Chains A and B, each alone.
Chain A
Amino acid sequence: MTSTDTAAHPEPLSLARGEAKLDPPAHFGRWRSAAPLRRITLWNGETAWVALSYEAVRAVFKDGARFRAAPVTPGFPTINQADSATKGAALLPMLDPPAHTALREAVLREFIVKRIESLRPEAERIVAGLLDAMTGAADPVDLIPALAAPVPATFTCLLLGVPLDDAAFFAKCLDVRFTPTSAAEAVYGADDRLRRYFRDLVTARAADPRDDLSSRLVTGSVLTGKLSAEDAAALLHVLLIGGFDTTKQMIALSTVTLLGHPQQLAELMAAPALWRGAVQELLRYISVAQVERRACVADTEVCGQLIRAGEGVLVLLGSANRDPGVFVDPDRFDIHRRDLPHVAFGHGIHQCLGQPVARMLLSVTLPALFTRFPRLSLAVPLEELRFRDDRSLIGVSELPVRTRP
């Protein structure tokens, strides 16, 4: 095939993983060693670029003026049907400045590292309660409903100041919203139920403020006229999305990863100060969010490749995090790594706002889990875990473990 043919009919983008489920698809590595960016064909027949190298991924993320996050931008790429149904969405990660700036600013102080760290005792209490319940349960235990899902769900409810009982409603809406095959009407419906929920919450907190993030957002930004009630509701909505599934899958896949590296796990249990580096490495190695989307609005050269206005770019975070030009022996899990910072939380102005929460929850949950159950093991072979790799967020739907030998 000549290069002209390749340009006219680029390969389709597959997100499917091989045997090594914790490694990004092997073709990402092959593509990345050929070029930092590559043209591919999307699920709907459109073409777009994929950014594969660490440098290209950081460059696209950092140039927010030319690579826009708003799905309404011409050429904006989508990765599946459910994804394409949310093109009209105006949530924080899908906004460009200045709208993005004002919204992010309104909650920035809520995510100060020290502030989140001060909530560590709350997280420890949540985790201890869940581990108590696991101690009383018969093996095998599914770690997803037992621990991985409720830790971030409970903490997010606590942070936002909403009833813990609403977590099930949130989980149901988000499941419809992110299942790749969900019909457009179902996605709209789920989004709409969440939108109404948060609009009602804003109204309720305006009338009767409490000591929680939602109330501070309403009194600090809505009642002062800085943000509309609609904007505040959308912001709370995205804080929910951001905190739920990402951290759930990080807890599950971190457990799988650590069980697969018993020597490093033993080191961590002997020297808890190492957990900090371990969490950083787990974030890089697993990279739960594998795809971000941008659309180019002005011809731009990235790593020597011209990207034209109107072309879409899928930013492959997991590929950048395994770039051998940046990470020594990148496919090796190594809690002692001292390489450049990973891009698991993105880069540029959209870098994850909730990252201190994710780090804190992981650094509370994982040591507590392995301290309580030192003989923890997978109840099924790793290759039999049903691995979800067809959406922007990777993960497992079940994680059966044995808490005792």
Chain B
Amino acid sequence: MSQIVGNPTVEPAEPDDRAATTSFTDYLRALLRDKVTAVAALFLLILLVAAAGAEFLAPHDPNAANLRARFIPPLGTARDGTFYLFGTDELGRDVLSRLMHGATVSMSIGLLGAICSAIVGVSLGILAGFYRGKLEIVLMRAVDGMMALPSLLIALFILFVIGSGFANLIFIFTLLHWMIFARMARSLTLSYKEQTYVTAARAVGASDLRIILTHILPNMISPLLVLFTLEIAVLILSEASLSFLGFGVQPPRASWGLMIARGREYISSAWWLVVMPGAAIFLAALCLNLVAAWARAISDPVQRWRWLTKPSTEKDAT
């Protein structure tokens, strides 16, 4: 990165405040120019729509067993002429419909879990960074300690004791994932606190709460969004693992991890029962990671120009 900063020939021609007022359409245009990220974003959009509207969009009832249409391979047709895009499972249930309903569960756990962890982590992180003192020491020790422990193992243990279920999963993900948000919020708060605009705000008599809400928090939105996107991917993967082991979402609710666990018994005869839900998890996580990487690059003032302006010469980036 230092190469770019130190090299005046590759700086954007326009003054910098132009970049600060980049509109939504500029971002959209930049997104469309980057083919891979555009495809990833499109896939996530489709996934979100499928998850949100699974109730109406799914071609079949996800729990309707049809013993005369068991183990139909993808793109297969049952005897009664029904077409199954992703095939059917051991009870003759439509895999596509189950995947869509599974998406509802996985995406909402990922989103809600990340939102709750972000709220807890960011609040604590800002408090620690803003007020420093004992609070900061205790909190950061706790963060370091908790991050050093194997989280999947602890999640399993808590679920084992309090029982599994949707709300319990969200609670556990919040408990085990707030630390990373707290760490980032604290370090950002520490650097913003010393900025002139915060001193100025304090000089005109702004309260701590006002300084935090209007001068510190808005500045961390973009790095936090990147982290948030990454966390959704992490949570979707964790949920799948826990459900696969039987400690996450419980049947008859469809969940991607649960579908793999059930399909595992039939892996040698009906590969699609394992491949399809796993591919869904993989693609969802991959696309979230791609979008996060793009968002990180575009929200970085040093790198932003290369996404917002049409690339003419390619230079090495770090």
> A and B: partners?
no
